Amino acid sequence: MANDLRVAFIGAGNMAEAMISGIVKTGTLEPRQVTATNRSNADRLLELHNEYGIQGIMRDKLQLSSYDVIFLAMKPKDAESSLLSIKDHIRPDQVVMSVLAGISTEFMEEHLNDGQQVIRVMPNTSSMLRESATAISPGQNVTMKNVKLAKSLLSSIGEVYVIEEDQMDLFTGIAGSGPAYFYYLMEHIEKTAHENGMDVQQAREIGAQTILGAAKMMIEREETPTELRQNVTSPNGTTAAGLDALNENGGGTAIKAAIEGAMNRSKEITEQLAKVTVQ
Ligand SMILES: NC(=O)C1=CN([C@@H]2O[C@H](COP(=O)(O)OP(=O)(O)OC[C@H]3O[C@@H](n4cnc5c(N)ncnc54)[C@H](O)[C@@H]3O)[C@@H](O)[C@H]2O)C=CC1
Ligand SMILES: O=C(O)[C@@H]1CCC=N1
């Protein structure tokens, strides 16, 4: 990665930190190449500076023209005002990459000047450990060079998939929000283990290793998830009893509902913002 590339994060919350951690700790960018900014929380910027060595600058002091890449990492409700606030301070050769759920490239392009390069990005917080599943959908003005830049920058936080934008809400339901489903699963593993007399910390280690092992099997082995599941399931054995209970209690239905719930919320954010903008 070019050692004069400069990247700014507008919004310095959980997602920005997870990405900064991955980008800086892999040495993809030197800390001096990364700046984070927020509206008013100077303590938070100092915390990020102390942890990662990056610059923390208050939003009103940020010289936007000095950055090649501007990541938007605030909440979706603040997207419109943020886009309007950067609009006349950036050049078309700079690329705006937004990680905001439900914010389309069309919405970004409409709120920026003609020809502005934008890329919609959906990472997840496993960026912190360089294990994100990240999707990108380029806007209509973006150059191939900047798509390549996005891919190589984001590959420092995990795997990168270039997808059609109409799949972005679904991707958000599976991967952007996805880590939370596994944490929720784990919370229930711990609770059940505790109720049955096991130490919570020990249950957490055992549960996490089981999830990790299953994830690696699905990535590294050729068998399908169905075949892998069948290999665990002895006739009339313990797994069959567990899976029966899962099915009887709506396990599959609950997983589908979770993904579609998040996907629909992403679509709803897009629709709500479109309405506000039209009014
Ligand atoms: N947390 C996650 O797992 C993921 C979050 N995202 C997206 O990332 C975005 C941020 O989410 P989190 O980091 O979880 O939220 P957060 O609440 O932790 O952070 C938001 C940050 O934006 C700052 N901010 C708000 N308005 C601003 C403005 N106008 N100018 C500068 N800074 C401003 C806030 O001070 C705060 O630092 C959201 O849009 C979300 O959809 C995307 C993928 C995963
Ligand atoms: O919950 C949210 O809206 C964000 C987007 C994907 C993960 N977290």
φ, ψ (nearest 5 deg) of residue 120: -90, 130
Q: What's the ipTM?
A: 0.97
Tokens of 101: 């759920």
> In a structure prediction context, what are the per-residue pLDDT tens digits for the chain, which is 279 residues long?
889 999 999 999 999 999 999 999 999 999 999 999 999 999 999 999 999 999 999 998 999 999 999 999 999 999 999 999 999 999 999 999 999 999 999 999 999 999 999 999 999 999 999 999 999 999 999 999 999 999 999 999 999 999 999 999 999 999 999 999 999 999 999 999 999 999 999 999 999 999 999 999 999 999 999 999 999 999 999 999 999 999 999 999 999 999 999 999 999 999 998 887 655
Taking CA atoms, 224 is separated from 68, 122, 235, 260, 269, in Å, by 42, 26, 19, 23, 34
CATH 1.10.3730.10 spans which residues of the chain?
178-261
Calculate the dihedral angle through the C-alpha atoms of 45, 60, 98, 127, rounding to the nearest 10 degrees. Answer: -10
- Residue closest via CA to ligand 2's atom 5 equals 101
Alpha-carbon distance of 108 to 198, in angstroms, equals 50
- Residue closest via CA to ligand 1's atom 44 equals 124
Q: Which of 140, 127, 142 is nearest to 178 (CA)?
A: 127
Q: Which amino acid does the sequence have at 47?
A: E
Tell me the chain's radius of gyration from C-alpha atoms. Answer: 21
Q: Which amino acid does the sequence have at 7?
A: V
Measuring from each residue's beta carbon to the nearest atom of ligand 1, which residues come in under 6 Å? 10-16, 37-39, 41, 59, 73-76, 78, 81-82, 99-101, 122-125, 176
186, 201 in Cβ contact below 8 A? Answer: no
The per-type count for the chain, helices as H runs and strands as E runs, is 11, 8
The domain defined by 7-164 carries CATH number 3.40.605.10: no
Tokens of 52: 């990662």
Q: Would you state the pLDDT for residue 127?
A: 96
Alpha-carbon distance of 118 to 129, in angstroms, equals 26
Q: What's the 198 CA to ligand 1 centre distance in angstroms? A: 37
CATH of domain 178-261: 1.10.3730.10
CATH 3.40.50.720 spans which residues of the chain?
7-164
Tokens of 49: 């500076």
H or E element: which one contains 69? strand 69-72
Tokens of 268: 């709803």
Q: Would you state the pLDDT for residue 274?
A: 82
Tokens of 60: 């009103």
**Candidates 44, 58, 72, 75: which one to mutate for ligand 1, based on the most atoms within 8 Å of Cβ?**
75
Q: Which atom of ligand 1 is nearest to the CA of 172?
A: 43
Alpha-carbon distance of 270 to 261, in angstroms, equals 14
- The response to whether 241 counts as a known ligand-binding position is no
218, 201 in Cβ contact below 8 A? Answer: no
Instruction: 261-267: list long-range contacts, CB under 8 Å, 24+ apart.
Output: 261/173, 262/172, 262/173, 262/176, 262/177, 263/169, 263/170, 263/172, 263/173, 264/169, 265/101, 265/102, 266/101, 266/102, 266/168, 266/169, 266/172, 266/173, 267/102, 267/169
